């Protein structure tokens, strides 16, 4: 199939090609964060040539969804189709239509925003299960694509379905945001030639989300674009936040409370911390919400070295959400050129430093490649030791606990020039290493790694660093 220009989706395209080549019925599940490019990928791959396609409408009642179903089927069959009374009747109509198509050709059915079709008491999911198990799985020439942004719904109801769809999907694709490398490729394809320093800052705000990146204008600087997208009156992404959470999560308010609490503590919170900050109950509902936020790509969950499960930390890792809580939530249009005006300010420098840590956590494979351990199994997490009257405290930005009996303690620095280790900072780094050894009791080799924009300035203290990772290295292909 000849596709529109697609950037950086080679693995997904390869999997779709394999599905289409198979001489067996295919149920393809595609899910991922809203705005990440799921619909664009499917439309491009199949050249918008579908034997049937329907897109669910957010918070629309069943009768309206079924009317859209009938309109699409009428267009495909060139006949007037009366809207069915329920989804059982709708899938019967689809079954009859597919049975009438040539048996020696591939036929593609695309249900986009599938979770929005499954409205309260609609009976959609049981009807879909019956359609697939009784009919769809018998057609060797059928490719059925089910797509949705409500990742928690897609995971629970389809990908991990324990009922009629258990183990039925032939391909499950979780579409992730672009990496730094893929973001650079996308921007260049659009005629945007920014430095990697600017691309990294852009990534800290937009997070490699293709739709957000598509709104950038090539004739404007990064700062001008951010002002235009967020801070001018009626800016394009000003009200994106509420729409994003409401369309992903039923009863979005408690999800937003959790996200806001996490945004205030970039190193993350434990479950007990979240309960304290949000006044939420410690029950299964909270567990489900945390799981839903994680499966939707909004939370990162990590177990710190040697800590019990109750010390599991949750970090907000959605860049747009982090930017919203830091700069947009309480901003009331005071300055349409706000981002340009705060360039170089201490508050912005603090923000970039913290957010660069997030970028590094999202590019672990590139970091491991640079330090020569791509093939070594490892666990990665931030590490905190709270000090008291009897012991010293320390915080380590990133720990890479390797299976080859080495632990890398990574110090992360985002600056406009080479980073200099002076006598005072040399002592800080040595103390961190010793406190980590004392607190964890590890017998592994512990070495220091610096991750920075432009590397370390050579001096009498620089030999303390065993390995370096530069900003350019985070743009590497893995």
Q: Where in the chain is the domain with CATH 3.40.1350.10?
A: 364-475
Token pair listed for 369: 């490649």
pLDDT digits (tens, 9 = 90+) for 144-197: 999 998 888 888 877 666 566 655 678 899 999 999 999 999 999 999 999 999
Q: What is the DSSP letter of 177?
A: P
Task: Work out whether strand 313-316 and strand 378-385 pair parallel, antiparallel, or are unpaired.
Answer: unpaired
Q: What angle do CA 454, 458, 461 make, to 5 degrees?
A: 115
Structure tokens that stand for 412 in this block: 């992360």
Tokens 């609609």 — which residue? 122
Confirm if 338 and 227 have CB atoms less than 8 A apart: yes
The CATH number of the domain covering residues in 10-174: 3.40.50.300
What are the φ/ψ torsions at residue 30 (nearest 5 degrees)? -125, 120
What top-level class would CATH report for the domain 364-475? alpha beta
Burial 207-233 (b: 16+ CB within 10 A, else e): bbbbebbeebeeeeebbebbbbbbbee
CB-based burial label for 344 (10 Å; 0-12, 13-18, 19+): exposed
Note the pLDDT of residue 391.
60
Question: Residue 261: which H helix or E strand, with range?
Answer: helix 253-263
Q: In which residue ranges of the chain is CATH 3.40.50.300 found? A: 10-174
- The 10 Å Cβ neighbour count of residue 119 is 18
Going by C-alpha positions, the residue among 228, 241, 233, 264 that lies closest to residue 339 is 228
CATH class of 241-326: mainly alpha
> Mean pLDDT in runs of 10 for the chain (478 residues)?
69 94 93 93 94 95 96 95 96 97 95 93 93 93 93 78 64 94 96 96 97 96 96 88 89 95 91 95 94 91 67 91 92 82 91 94 96 94 75 86 96 93 95 93 95 95 95 95
Closest CA to 314 of 304, 325, 326, 299: 299
DSSP annotation of 255: H
Kindly state the tokens that stand for 59. Answer: 């918070």
Query: What are residue 158's phi and psi, to 5 degrees?
Result: -120, -65
- 70 burial via Cβ count (<10 Å: 0-12, 13-18, 19+): middle
Tell me where in the chain the CATH 1.10.10.10 domain(s) lie.
241-326
Q: What is the pLDDT of residue 334?
A: 76
Question: Six-digit token pair at 443?
Answer: 């017998």
Beta carbons of 241 and 234 less than 8 angstroms apart: no
Q: Rounded to whole angstroms, how far apart are CA atoms 378 and 299?
A: 20
Q: Where are the beta strands (DSSP E) in 223-334?
A: 269-270, 299-302, 313-316
CA geometry: angle at 262 spanning 261 and 268, to 5°?
140
Task: Return the closest-CA partner of residue 460 out of 407, 423, 415.
Answer: 423
Residue with tokens 């391909």: 171
In DSSP terms, which residues pair with 384 in a beta bridge? 395
């Amino acid at each position: 199939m000849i596709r529109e220009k697609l950037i950086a989706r080679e693995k997904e395209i390869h999997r779709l090609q394999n599905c289409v080549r198979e001489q067996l019925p295919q149920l393809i599940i595609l899910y991922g964060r809203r705005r990440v490019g799921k619909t664009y990928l499917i439309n491009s791959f199949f050249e918008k040539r579908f034997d049937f396609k329907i897109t669910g409408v957010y918070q629309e009642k069943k009768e309206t969804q079924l009317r859209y179903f009938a309109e699409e089927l009428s267009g495909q069959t060139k006949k007037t189709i009366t809207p069915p009374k329920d989804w059982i009747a709708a899938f019967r109509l689809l079954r009859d239509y597919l049975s009438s198509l040539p048996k020696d050709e591939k036929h593609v059915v695309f249900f986009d925003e599938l979770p929005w079709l499954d409205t309260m008491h609609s009976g959609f999911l049981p009807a879909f299960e019956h359609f697939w198990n009784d009919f769809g799985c018998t057609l060797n020439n059928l490719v059925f694509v089910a797509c949705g942004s409500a990742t928690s719904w897609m995971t629970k109801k389809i990908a991990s379905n324990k009922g009629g769809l258990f183990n039925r999907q032939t391909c499950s694709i979780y579409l992730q945001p672009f990496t730094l490398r893929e973001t650079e490729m996308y921007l260049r394809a659009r005629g945007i030639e920014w430095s990697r320093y600017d691309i990294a800052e852009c990534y800290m705000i937009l997070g490699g989300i293709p739709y957000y990146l598509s709104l950038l204008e090539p004739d404007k600087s990064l700062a001008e674009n951010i002002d235009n997208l967020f801070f001018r009156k009626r800016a394009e992404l000003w009200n994106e936040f509420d729409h994003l959470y409401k369309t992903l999560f039923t009863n979005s308010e408690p999800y937003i409370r959790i996200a806001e609490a996490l945004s205030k503590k970039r190193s993350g919170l434990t479950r007990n911390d979240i309960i304290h900050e949000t006044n939420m109950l410690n029950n299964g509902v909270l567990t489900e919400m945390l799981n839903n936020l994680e499966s939707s790509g909004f939370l990162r969950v990590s177990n710190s070295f040697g800590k019990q499960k109750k010390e599991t930390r949750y970090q907000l890792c959605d860049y747009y959400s982090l930017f919203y809580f830091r700069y947009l939530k309480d901003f009331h249009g005071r300055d349409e050129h706000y981002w340009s005006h705060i360039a170089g300010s201490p508050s912005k420098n603090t923000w970039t430093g913290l957010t660069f840590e997030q970028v590094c956590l999202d590019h672990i494979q590139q970091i491991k490649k640079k330090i020569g351990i791509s093939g070594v199994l490892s666990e990665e997490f931030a590490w905190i030791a709270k000090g008291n009257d009897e012991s010293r405290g320390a915080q380590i930005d990133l720990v890479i606990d390797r299976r080859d009996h080495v632990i890398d303690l990574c110090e992360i620095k985002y600056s406009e020039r080479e980073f200099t280790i002076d006598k005072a900072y040399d002592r800080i780094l040595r103390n961190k290493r010793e406190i980590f050894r004392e607190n964890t009791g590890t017998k592994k080799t512990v070495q220091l790694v610096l991750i920075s924009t432009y590397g370390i300035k050579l001096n009498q203290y620089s030999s303390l660093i065993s390995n370096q990772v530069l900003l350019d290295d985070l743009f590497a292909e893995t």
